[in-house]
């Protein structure tokens, strides 16, 4: 949706993206647990109801978001590939064309 909008400056475009992300996160954190507890579990106020789901969701967000910033899978994969292909024992198994592509 944001790419279809026309903004007068880059700052306004980034502000629009941020507002949409915040709204999406609020919907994810508020409406989805209520809907799941009301419609699927049919247990909004009882034991293992809404409060437990929101608590576990908050704990999950608090733990996973920093871990995703620290542990970047793409960077780890790239470093592993560089390490693997730049070792002498691996160069013996590669053809000259494959060696030229790695450098």
Residue range 23-32, pLDDT digits in tens: 988 888 788 8
14-18: long-range contacts, CB 8 A cutoff, minimum separation 24:
none
pLDDT tens readout for residues 54-72: 788 888 888 888 888 788 8
Q: How many residues are listed for the chain in this entry?
A: 103
**79: DSSP letter:** H
Q: What is the DSSP string of 10-68?
A: HHHHHHHHHHHHHHHHHIIIIIHHHHIIIIIS--SSSTTSHHHHHHHHHHHHHHHHHHH
- Please, what is the Cα angle at 49 between 31 and 64, to 5 degrees? 65
Q: Whole-prediction pTM value?
A: 0.46
């Amino acid at each position: 949706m944001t790419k279809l909008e026309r903004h007068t400056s880059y700052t306004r475009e980034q502000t629009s993206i941020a507002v949409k992300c915040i709204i999406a996160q609020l919907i994810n954190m508020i409406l989805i647990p209520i809907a799941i507890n009301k419609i699927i579990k049919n247990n909004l106020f009882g034991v293992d109801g809404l409060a437990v789901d929101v608590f576990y969701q908050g704990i999950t967000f608090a733990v996973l978001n920093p871990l995703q910033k620290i542990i970047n899978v793409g960077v780890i994969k790239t470093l592993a590939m560089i390490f693997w292909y730049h070792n002498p024992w691996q160069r013996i198994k590669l053809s000259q064309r494959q060696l030229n592509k790695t450098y």
